[in-house]
């Protein structure tokens, strides 16, 4: 792993993407309890599926964080990336943390019978897509060139 130059900056992301998801959880709770709940026939099976989706999302997020830790890198997108990570969950998706956070939001909606959460998951991912994913991709393409292009050709952005 090469050491980043002290003046090098990472992707042009200025807001922590997990806070976007937290903001949409807060918004979903406000909509559920102040405006109106979305009518939903939430039986036990749907709640169990929701819990499974939350657990899968958490596993994906923590697996990606563990991969960053094993490679000695910082997962914050505005920090420099000394090497391209292509192992762990990054073998199947270029954005496992964002996929995991989206799954958590969908699963919470099902598990807690709050379809605002599930409905807002797509909006949260769309915000993160423009706010973080596209700047991260531009940074990685500029920094790693052909290696990143080859990786992009093999691995999907989300799923």
Q: What is the pTM of this model?
A: 0.91
Higher-pLDDT residue of 72 and 3 is: 72
- pLDDT band (50, 70, 90) for residue 38: confident
Q: pLDDT tens digits, residue range 53-102?
A: 999 999 999 999 999 999 999 999 999 999 999 999 999 999 999 999 99
Angle, CA of 88, 56 and 102, to the nearest 5°: 95
State residue 152's pLDDT score. Answer: 96
Cβ atoms of residues 91 and 103 within 8 Å: no
Tell me, rounded to whole angstroms, the distance of Cα 43 from its chain centroid: 28
The number of residues making up the chain comes to 159
Beta strands in 11-133 (DSSP E): none
Nearest to 53 by CA among 98, 107, 97, 8: 107
Neighbours of 108 (CB within 10 A): 22
Cβ atoms of residues 71 and 97 within 8 Å: no
Q: pLDDT tens digits, residue range 86-142?
A: 999 999 999 999 999 999 999 999 999 999 999 999 999 999 999 999 999 999 999
Listed in sequence order, the DSSP H helices in the chain are: 17-30, 44-70, 96-111, 115-128, 134-144, 146-154
SS3 74: coil
- pLDDT band (50, 70, 90) for residue 37: confident
């Amino acid at each position: 792993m090469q050491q980043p130059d002290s003046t090098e900056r990472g992707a042009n992301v200025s807001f922590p993407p997990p806070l976007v998801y937290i903001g949409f959880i807060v918004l979903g709770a406000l909509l559920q309890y102040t405006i109106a709940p979305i009518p939903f026939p939430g039986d036990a099976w749907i709640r169990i599926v929701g819990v499974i989706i939350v657990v899968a999302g958490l596993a994906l997020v923590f697996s990606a964080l563990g991969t960053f830790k094993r490679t000695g890198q910082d997962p914050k997108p505005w920090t420099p990336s000394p090497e391209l990570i292509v192992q762990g969950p990054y073998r199947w998706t270029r954005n496992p943390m964002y996929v995991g956070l989206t799954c958590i939001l969908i699963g919470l909606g099902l598990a807690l019978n709050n379809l605002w959460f599930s409905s807002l998951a797509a909006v949260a991912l769309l915000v993160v897509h423009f706010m973080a994913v596209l700047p991260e991709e531009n940074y990685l393409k500029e920094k790693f060139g052909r290696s990143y292009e080859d990786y992009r050709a093999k691995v999907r952005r989300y799923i």
